[in-house]
Chain A
């Protein structure tokens, strides 16, 4: 009799305590999404990003090694808005993993509910370059969208791992509190530059500009996906003079030859500006990303020199 009571007690204890935690395997396309998911999920998730923070997120190779990662994933988080259309669909199709197909619980489009800019309001054709017809997909460069992304992730993690629900909520609350505090810091640092005209290499920054009240008056690329041309570069030089532009923001995966040339002719400062976590070893999470970029921007505007 005692033995059966003992066995019953052990079974009850096992039932009441947390089951052995295997950890949700989360694969994301961007390091930013992986960083936020890791913050929300803590020990209960294991994250992997297909694109490194210093590579162009439009042109990731669909390597078979990614198929292996996807075959074991419990959740795939994508930026959406066709940012990954050049490589992700065949990887998901070959993953042998039903859970992560679009529409299933293991597929999360992080753009849901975010403030997406540049949604087309008129006819869109590829004469405009490699346009994204659902809006500008670099929306995570606004920290308030980071907040919305974190909430979406917390909800989905809670659905996939109900036992972890309270932990995810707690981590989300901590993330949001820290984000609110940091946003105040960034707002204070950027406030003196509200209304400043800037040039960027590619159209990765409208969300950042909206948040910090910058005006993007032109891009070094004549059109998205088209490399700089002499005539357009001349236009940019003239634009800089007319609009009193002081900085050119360049993503780390572009050639700085043309921006450097423009800077030499106009006295502007070229700033290497990072769209993603992992762009530099020092940018380890979503907060580091804005810390780095805000400091680099402020230094450049103060004339303290470039990258």
Chain B
């Protein structure tokens, strides 16, 4: 017993002589503490020039088509807020996403409440500035309500479900108000839209991985009191990036397949849509890409649109991007251009820039 006490005393003595822990550097003096908790503020500008003719989707020859302001900060020990305001050129302002994320919940849950891009497929949840093209693919445009895709106001609950072999998977269940432009329309307040998404992400090796998703959604479409639109989706993304030289070489392959069933008094309309694309990094700042796409119209199964595109992207730095996209889209008739099929050949030239807080690199 005495030996034990002596040993403890010796330890205490030694610890008294230990090197003190490093002291933190004093924080830089701020002039006003009221600005100390300002959110991270960022601005991303997206300028698009378009050449060629397209009577169906007549984009302007030049426009600052979107300026996105991001405000992101921790609210309190329980949640963080992320708000992205999207500005058009004149009089168009919208909250593209604005949600609270509860990051400290039990049972591996992550809950978001607010307005958010819906986790249907993979592309729909991405902001314009992280897309690998200068436009949205036809399956999103035709089957998720338009260029903006499906943005919902409601609640999202995502649960981590680790699989054997330590593989990441996540089940997300979302409930939104039953209105979404071009997609859902709620006859009554209690008509809601729901989305479920299951994602599996597997590291195939240090340099390659596979991301698979399955989505299922249902919501009111307003054609009658109980008419529903049902959506199904599959998405796959394969990435290869050798860790050591990942700054110079990488490859991303993506594809999505959507199905849509719209109940109407006259009968149910079914449509499908898909895209497949590849992006190849040639050098530290240069990428090329190709995309094939096709989609029926959600409201008229006899009309089908198809498209092909090729892209060339240059990043002067990680804060700016220049992209040229050559695109051919064949719109099934009848359409805005006339009664028959219409083919549009265009070149889209996009310039993007970011200022303010350093955002996360897209993955």
A298 and B139 alpha carbons, distance in the complex (Å): 60
Residues on B with C-beta less than 8 A from A126 are: 317, 319, 355
A93/B80 in contact, CB under 8 A:
yes
A96/B19 in contact, CB under 8 A:
no
A90/B18 in contact, CB under 8 A:
no
B166 at the interface (CB under 8 A from A): yes
A108 and B358 alpha carbons, distance in the complex (Å): 21
A259 and B75 alpha carbons, distance in the complex (Å): 48
A87/B168 in contact, CB under 8 A:
no
Per-position contact with A for B260-288: 1 when CB-CB < 8 Å, else 0?
Answer: 00000000000000000000000011000
Q: Which of B54-108 contact A (CB under 8 A)?
A: 80, 101, 103-105, 108
A96/B108 in contact, CB under 8 A:
yes
B108/A253 in contact, CB under 8 A:
no
A138 at the interface (CB under 8 A from B): no
State whether A113 and B24 are in contact (beta carbons under 8 Å apart), knowing that A55-B243, A126-B319, A253-B245 are contacts in the complex: yes
Count of residues in A whose CB is under 8 Å from the partner chain: 48
B317/A65 in contact, CB under 8 A:
no
State whether A130 and B103 are in contact (beta carbons under 8 Å apart), knowing that A67-B168, A68-B162, A151-B19 are contacts in the complex: no
State whether A63 and B247 are in contact (beta carbons under 8 Å apart), knowing that A86-B358, A130-B317 are contacts in the complex: no
A151/B21 in contact, CB under 8 A:
yes
Q: Which of A143-160 contact B (CB under 8 A)?
A: 148, 151-152, 155
CB distance from B41 to the nearest CB of A (A): 15
CB distance from A149 to the nearest CB of B (A): 8
Stretch in B201-209, B305-313, B325-333 with 4+ CB within 8 Å of A: B201-209
State whether A254 and B103 are in contact (beta carbons under 8 Å apart), knowing that A61-B363, A62-B363, A68-B166 are contacts in the complex: no
A116 and B28 alpha carbons, distance in the complex (Å): 14
A86/B103 in contact, CB under 8 A:
no
A237 at the interface (CB under 8 A from B): no
Per-position contact with B for A84-99: 1 when CB-CB < 8 Å, else 0?
Answer: 0111011001111010
- Tally of contacts, chain A with chain B, CB under 8 A: 117
A90 and B168 alpha carbons, distance in the complex (Å): 16
B201/A64 in contact, CB under 8 A:
yes
CB distance from B61 to the nearest CB of A (A): 30
Per-position contact with A for B166-201: 1 when CB-CB < 8 Å, else 0?
Answer: 111010000000000000000000000000000101
A63/B209 in contact, CB under 8 A:
yes
B201/A63 in contact, CB under 8 A:
yes
Contact sample, A vs B, 21 pairs, CB 8 Å cutoff: A52-B206, A54-B244, A55-B244, A65-B209, A68-B168, A71-B160, A82-B358, A85-B360, A87-B360, A90-B360, A94-B103, A94-B110, A96-B108, A98-B104, A112-B23, A151-B21, A155-B21, A172-B18, A226-B317, A227-B284, A253-B244
Chain A residues proximal to chain B, CB less than 8 Å: 52, 54-56, 59, 61-65, 67-68, 71, 82, 85-87, 89-90, 93-96, 98, 101, 112-114, 116, 126, 129-130, 148, 151-152, 155, 166, 169, 172-173, 176, 225-227, 252-255
Instruction: Knowing that A112-B23, A126-B317, A151-B19 touch, tell me 5 more A-B residue pairs with CB under 8 angstroms.
Output: A52-B206, A68-B168, A86-B360, A148-B22, A151-B21
Closest 6 CB pairs of A and B: A113-B22, A98-B104, A64-B201, A55-B243, A64-B168, A155-B21
